[in-house]
Amino acid sequence: MTDMTIQNANMRANLQARGPLPDGHPPVNMGKIGVLLMNLGTPDATDYWSMRRYLREFLSDRRVIETSRWIWWPLLNLVILTVRPGRKGKDYDTIWNRERNESPLKTITRGQAEKLGEWVKAGGLGDAGGKIVVDWAMRYGNPSVKSRLEALQAQGCDRILLVPLYPQYAAATSATACDKAFEALMQMRWQPTIRVSPPYYDEPVYIDALAQSLRDGLAKLDFEPEVILASFHGVPKEYLDKGDPYHCTCAKTARLLRDAMGMSKDKLRLTFQSRFGPAEWLQPYTDETVKALAASGVKKMAVITPGFSADCLETIEEIGAENAEYFLHGGGEKFGRIDCLNDSEGGVRVIADVVKRELQGWI
């Protein structure tokens, strides 16, 4: 049975459920609910031009870089996009999924969507599962948000739940993902009804999954860490001053995780990574904390990254390689990186909890 045959069959079923249409009325496909998981993004390959294309889209986003365009455009196009693609391409090459020829973030996000779909089919949403369509997209790179919204609408989804896969809201993550979706909606004659899932930084299911992930990760290490860092992606401090709630939600996640683990502030510490440029970012910085811990005589440490729903360059390479090197070269002896929730049972349970709660009233 071809895709067109299936689409026509769905269309007829939807029309029959709503009664006959007048003669000559254009065909209508409707009645399904889409769930679109949205993650940050990924280059299509590690070569210079693929990396340049990805970085250009990412660093041109006004939600990410708020610096005046008069200052930023020359710097971006004449310096950053000349030098950075080659450097970042080499970093991506060290973590690339060669079997599927894609980044780990793409592999994992696909896995999250597929397993969420399996949960739906297994009755996770009761009898409504048959009308739920799960898909996934990237804010930057492919598959694009626009293409997947169009695909969901073509399958008869007249209601779509957008699920930004960022536990803690930030304008540079959740908001820009929604911006891209709304931009696509502006080009649609018949817009599906849209609902956006809220951040889930303090939801019990999420905190429980983080705590279990941390316990499991520590159990796999051959040492007991003296200090554990909960490292979140940083943003410029200026964004906090302008009212972005990101810092506060990161702090709450860290506090709730600390409470769940029964650990002190000295044992489980909050830090921020991945700063870019000369401006002050949220502190304390992860890399400087790692170096300071090694210099102070700490010999064993681990890092968990609760703000990332899936492992990516910033967790695998920046934490697992770059910061591990800082620590070991600075006098440390043992360094462990705890995996993100990814598409594990606990990770999918968190996403399913968000979806189930937000689809109430639609199913």
Residue among 361, 357, 363, 351 nearest 37 (CA): 351
Whether the predicted pLDDT of 174 surpasses 60:
yes
Question: Around Cβ 244, how many Cβ atoms within 10 Å?
Answer: 19
Q: In the chain, what are the helix, strand and coil shares in percent, each to the nearest 5?
A: 50, 15, 30
Q: Find tokens 């990805």 and name the residue.
A: 54
Local structure of 55: helix, strand or coil: helix
Q: How confident is the model at residue 20 (pLDDT cuts 50, 70, 90)?
A: low
pLDDT digits over 222-248, tens only? Answer: 999 999 999 999 999 999 999 999 999
Contact (Cβ atoms closer than 8 angstroms) between residue 267 and residue 229 = no
Whether the predicted pLDDT of 171 surpasses 50:
yes
Q: How confident is the model at residue 277 (pLDDT cuts 50, 70, 90)?
A: confident
The CATH architecture of the domain made up of 204-337 is 3-Layer(aba) Sandwich (3.40)
Phi/psi for 63 (5° steps) reads -70, -30
pLDDT digits over 85-127, tens only? Answer: 999 999 999 999 999 999 999 999 999 999 999 999 999 999 8
Percent of the chain scoring above 70 in pLDDT:
92
Question: Around Cβ 26, how many Cβ atoms within 10 Å?
Answer: 5
Question: Got the DSSP string for 267-329?
Answer: TEEEEEE---SSS-BSSSBHHHHHHHHHHTT--EEEEE-TT-SS--HHHHTIIIIIIHHHHHH
> Distance of alpha carbon 271 from its chain centroid, rounded?
19
Where in the chain are the domains? 204-337
What is the DSSP code (8-state) at residue 167? S
Q: What is the pTM assigned to this prediction? A: 0.91
Distances (CA, A) of 174 to 39, 171, 180, 286, 291: 9, 6, 10, 22, 31
What's the rounded Cα separation, in Å, for the pair 212 and 267? 17
Question: Around Cβ 305, how many Cβ atoms within 10 Å?
Answer: 26
Distances (CA, A) of 346 to 40, 129, 138: 21, 21, 22
